[in-house]
Amino acid sequence: MSPFPQRRMRRLRTNPTLRDMLAEVQVTCDDLIAPIFVRGGEGLTKPIASMPGQNQYSVDTAVEYAARLLSKGIRAVLLFGIVDEAAKDDLGSAAWADDAPVQTLTRALDERFGDELLIIADTCLCEYTSHGHCGPVRTLHGQTEIDNDAALDLIAQTAVNQVKHGADIVAPSSMMDGQVGAIREALDAAGYEKTPIMSYSVKFASSLYGPFRDAAESPPKFGDRRTYQMDYRTPSQSSAEAALDLDESADILMVKPAGAYLDILAQLRDTTDAPLAAYQVSGEYAQLKAAAQNGWIDERGAVFETLSAIKRAGAQLIITYYAEQVADWLG
Ligand code: PBG
Ligand code: ZN
């Protein structure tokens, strides 16, 4: 390579058309999955304070939101359910109830949009347990813990119920060991062997989930999730988490959060052929929104930059609360 002044890298950056033609990463609507928070009631669009621009919906308004997303080119949604405290119990049995918000919305979306809309159901118990943990609580040797193995049947049963009501993909997010295998076995036994599992394989215990726990009204009532979600100081565990989920026949692996874990995503990209998803979580959205609302950053620029970084690191699928806005910006 001839040195400066013969060689000037800036020559490739002078013409805007050439810059566009040389672009190696481009975020499109088909990369994006929009989360939807649904609860009971009617005609509801309830703003989520910690996530400006995001709302809790009732089933009817959620269907309208999905219609809007579709008309703008966003064709995949990830559903989270919210229930009143009175509907929560120790096991989280509202997770697999036929008339629960996610199941009801799934039926409505499936009926209205069919194959046009990819419906992904988040499969977990924490939105439905009275204690807010992702599995049942037990006391062992005088210590309170989340009962991994007791969670498996409940999670598998939830996944089967979600698919029965029309979910196209289930996305287990509890970080219980063995959950993917348990779900696969239960789905196959119920005749749903063609339904893919998108596993939250590499999910870190993160302060960036804060706004979500308000949005889903599901913060843990005691302790935290560090006994089951990963510790960000031990990245070497990522490959085992991914390998175990693939062995249990996960179809898509997810890294979560996204922005602060691009190293993990890039490593996985290098070591597996499996499709990879990344979740730009509530705290990542809230940071961008807050700075933008204060006029401290250019929102559009910052959003495309962060999403491009996630794609560049190796994600084919990006779950982001910015999905609709990105579709608007793309026109
Ligand atoms: C619950 C779940 C969480 C998120 C997705 N599913 C919260 C948690 O694990 O505490 C976080 C999503 C976000 O922050 O946007 N299993
Ligand atoms: Zn959970």
- Cβ–ligand 1 contact at 315 (below 6 Å): no
- Residue range 251-307, pLDDT digits in tens: 999 999 999 999 999 999 999 999 999 999 999 999 999 999 999 999 999 999 999
Ligand 1, atom 11: nearest CA belongs to which residue? 209
Note the ligand closest to the C-alpha atom of 95.
2
Candidates 203, 221, 289, 311; catalytic one: 203
Residues 6+ apart with CB under 8 A from 11: none
**CB distance 271 to 239 below 8 Å:** yes
**CB distance 262 to 313 below 8 Å:** yes
Q: How close is the Cα of 21 to the center of ligand 2, in Å? A: 43
* Reported confidence tier of residue 35, pLDDT bands at 50, 70, 90: very high
What is the reported pLDDT for 227?
95
Ligand 1, atom 7: nearest CA belongs to which residue? 209
What is the reported pLDDT for 214?
87
**Element holding 19 (H helix, E strand):** helix 16-22
CATH for 26-330?
3.20.20.70
In angstroms, the first-to-last Cα distance of the chain is 41
- Residue range 116-156, pLDDT digits in tens: 999 999 999 999 999 999 999 999 999 999 999 999 999 99
C-alpha span between 213 and 217 (Å, rounded): 5
C-alpha span between 273 and 285 (Å, rounded): 28
Task: State yes or no: is 88 an active-site residue.
Answer: no
Task: State yes or no: is 221 an active-site residue.
Answer: no
Query: What values do phi and psi take at 273, rounded to 5?
Result: -90, -10
Query: What values do phi and psi take at 136, rounded to 5?
Result: -65, 155
Alpha carbon of residue 32 to chain centroid: 11
User: Residue 61 corresponds to which tokens in the numbers above?
Assistant: 């308004």
- Cβ–ligand 1 contact at 281 (below 6 Å): yes
- Residue range 174-226, pLDDT digits in tens: 999 999 999 999 999 999 999 999 999 999 999 999 999 889 998 999 999 99
* 318 C-beta neighbours (distance < 10 Å), count: 23
Q: Structural domain boundaries of the chain? A: 26-330
**CB distance 106 to 166 below 8 Å:** yes
Atom of ligand 1 nearest to the CA of 203: 9
Residues 6+ apart with CB under 8 A from 82: 37, 38, 39, 56, 101, 127, 216, 217, 218
98-103 mean pLDDT: 98
Amino acid identity of residue 330, one-letter, is L
User: Across all residues in the chain, what is the average pLDDT?
Assistant: 97
C-alpha span between 227 and 233 (Å, rounded): 14
Q: Which residue from 185, 187, 205, 203 is spatially nearest to 195, judged by alpha carbons?
A: 187
Tell whether pTM > 0.85. yes
Residues 6+ apart with CB under 8 A from 157: 96, 186
E strands, the chain, in order? 32-39, 45-47, 55-57, 76-82, 118-123, 137-140, 143-146, 169-172, 198-203, 252-256, 276-280, 317-320
- Cβ–ligand 1 contact at 95 (below 6 Å): no
What is the reported pLDDT for 165?
98
- Cβ–ligand 1 contact at 58 (below 6 Å): no
Note the ligand closest to the C-alpha atom of 282.
1
Helix (H/G/I), strand (E/B), else coil: 293: helix
- For the four alpha carbons of 278, 180, 188 and 124, in that order, the dihedral sign comes to negative
Query: What values do phi and psi take at 119, rounded to 5?
Result: -100, 115
Ligand 1, atom 5: nearest CA belongs to which residue? 173
Atom of ligand 1 nearest to the CA of 175: 16
